[in-house]
Amino acid sequence: MDRPAARFGTSRSLNHLSINYDFVPTMSELNKTTIFFVAALAAIALALFTRPSTQEYNVDELRGTTLVEEFPAEAPKRLSITSLDAETGDLQAFEVAEIADVWSIPSKSGYPADATEQMAAAVEGVLGREVLTATPIGAGDHSTYGVVDPTDTSADEGFGTHVRLSDKDDKVLADLIIGKEVTDSDGHYWVRKAKQDVVYEVEFDLDKFSTDFADWIEKDLLGLSTFDVSQVNIDDYTIETEIYLRGGRLERGILEDRRERMHLVYDDESNWQAETLETYNKGDKTYEAFTLEENQELNEDSLRELKNALGDLEIVDVERKPDGLSSDLSAGDDFMNNNEALRSLARRGFLPVAADPADPTKGLMLLSSEGEIVVTLKDGVEYVLRFGDLQLDPSAESGTDKPDTETDEESDPDVEGLNRYLFVMARVNESAIPKPELEALPELPPEGDSDSEDTNEAADSEAADEATNGQDPGDDETADDKAKDKKPTREEVEAERKRIEENNKRAEEEYQEKIEEAKERVDELNQRFGDWYYVIPNDVFKKIHLGRDQVVKTNEPEPSDDAEGGDDSNASVLGAPGTALPGLPSTGPAVESAAPSTTEAQPKSDQQPETEGQPQADVQPEAGEQPAADTQPDNGQGS
């Protein structure tokens, strides 16, 4: 075998021979070739591994089998449901998981979930699903059955709902894409496993795979009973922020529209009473008391709706508050310098301001775009509800634009689908817990006091003498008087004082226990409320946010008798048909009347003075005698 000729040369600098072979490749070229080859194999292997299976299925063998392999009902610890909004094209991802033995919703910033029942329903919706038919198809036909993975960016239509169940170790227990409903088969849907092409017909209840946030949480926000509501304080106002130019600088101001403050009390007889009513004087910028007029009263219907709405207050969404903002706004200067946190509040209609600009140590107070109410319960727990703006797109965290309330709300106040932000906190109102009425202690008689003993001995001696003489002291009033004069001994007073002290101590302890229980309840509530903005339906907000026109009802004056009968200017002076003419007997049929009989004597004050020739009204004609129709009574003046 011939070899190519070698080239020999002399290196002047090194002064030795060097031999070069043109056909020998360099080491770097070999490494590159090897790397490219290995990468190509890896890509092919990955594609084969991740692509849906194209194996052939024996549909006869699949029919009647279960869709997924059986697993313990309590094994799933994570559920994810992904779908594509048909109208907006947005990907909607919902996830609930049990982390550290606590269920939460990662897709909602970890909001606590009440997922036990709903998770059990989802597991029931997957386990034991029988395959009714099986259709082996290619990936290109997935859109026909609506089983395209919603995360597949290469597809344009036919997207299904991707449901995945995993255990605590993230092992996938079920991975399904639920597609279109089978034609002419109610409750039957086309379903495929995420890594297979074959499509199954399976009976499914899609309601068990709810992505509605409200289905996975404790919807009753406050958890109060309407029977426990004792007071409601309504602070009716609105605020807006404005940006204006001052001295060449942009500054922020607050536009306030303050109206009424109303403190209402609900008594044990199921009646509302107005404790204080105040209206805002915009000229003096102070609140002035006002009272209800004679034709005004509290509107029991509106206040009943208010109580019911509080008892059934359900949330439809939540958004996490910025870090550093607690439920009671006990934030420091760092928070006030956090522009992101301040924008978060402002875009939802809440404005933190200094409680006292002259004294920074008094902390912050929160103003709300739509006022606030305070609800006090009999146990001393108090809820502060502050109402913010209408909810914008929760994903639009940037920007502070508000919704077009003129077109959305003011033009149609009953429009459905609007939601509003709610800022909630709890606190203790100790004055709402009745203090115990302590019994006064009787005074001890002085040491060595013999007056009471002598008095008692004398009373006992007299009673004994009366009994000896055969007289029962109990039947004699003087015996009772003598018993009253009997003074208690020091030992008796000491025993009575001890009894009263024990009762007073027990009452004080019970009172303190109620306060401690209220504080514990408030701590629990604020741990729940502290990190969240809540979102409630706007129509529910309108039942809770009451103004003066809803709280106070003006009654229309009742119509008088004259108004009921009316004033008939065309009525005859002779009266209605069938009635008697003045001074004459009735010619019509007899009618029972409550008026006194004309034959009865009338008081002198009611009688007219007798005039010669004038007939008396109480004189009836003789039987068979009829008065002349054209005869007029003679008034003494002639015709």
Q: Which of 106-110, 136-140, 235-239, 333-337 has the lowest mean pLDDT?
A: 333-337
Count other C-beta atoms under 10 Å from residue 565's C-beta. Answer: 9
C-alpha 601, offset from chain centre: 73
Q: Mean of the pLDDT values across residues 362-379?
A: 90
**Tens digits of per-residue pLDDT, 404-445?**
444 444 445 455 679 999 999 999 999 999 999 999 999 988
**Tens digits of per-residue pLDDT, 517-564?**
999 999 999 988 988 999 999 999 999 999 999 999 999 877 665 555
**Tens digits of per-residue pLDDT, 303-336?**
999 999 999 899 999 999 887 665 555 444 555 5
Task: Provide the pLDDT for residue 557.
Answer: 77
What percentage of the chain has pLDDT greater than the value 90? Answer: 38
CA distance linking residue 432 with residue 381, whole number of Å: 8
SS3 632: coil
Cα distances from 269 to residues 227, 229, 375, 381, in angstroms, run 11, 13, 19, 21
SS3 134: strand
Q: 477-484 and 451-468 are packed helices; what angle lies between their axes, rounded to 10 degrees?
A: 160
Give the contacts of 302 (CB within 8 A, at least 6 positions apart).
546, 550, 551, 553
CA distance linking residue 461 with residue 266, whole number of Å: 59
**Closest Cα partner for 175 from 155, 190, 195, 158?**
195
Residue 380 has pLDDT above 50, yes or no: yes
Of residues 452 and 76, which shows the higher confidence score?
76
Q: Mean of the pLDDT values across residues 148-155?
A: 89
CA distance linking residue 50 with residue 44, whole number of Å: 10
Task: Provide the pLDDT for residue 219.
Answer: 83
What percentage of the chain has pLDDT greater than the value 70? Answer: 65
Of residues 272 and 341, which shows the higher confidence score?
272
Binned at pLDDT 50, 70 and 90, residue 195 comes out as confident
Task: Provide the pLDDT for residue 153.
Answer: 85
**Closest Cα partner for 69 from 173, 208, 172, 168?**
173
Task: Provide the pLDDT for residue 349.
Answer: 92
Of residues 86 and 57, which shows the higher confidence score?
86
Q: Mean of the pLDDT values across residues 68-86?
A: 91
**Tens digits of per-residue pLDDT, 6-36?**
433 434 343 444 444 444 455 556 566 666 6
Residue 613 has pLDDT above 70, yes or no: no
Task: Provide the pLDDT for residue 267.
Answer: 83
**Tens digits of per-residue pLDDT, 49-71?**
444 444 555 667 888 889 999 99
**Tens digits of per-residue pLDDT, 436-479?**
999 999 998 887 655 555 555 555 555 555 555 555 555 555 65
Residue 618 has pLDDT above 60, yes or no: no
Q: Mean of the pLDDT values across residues 63-91?
A: 89
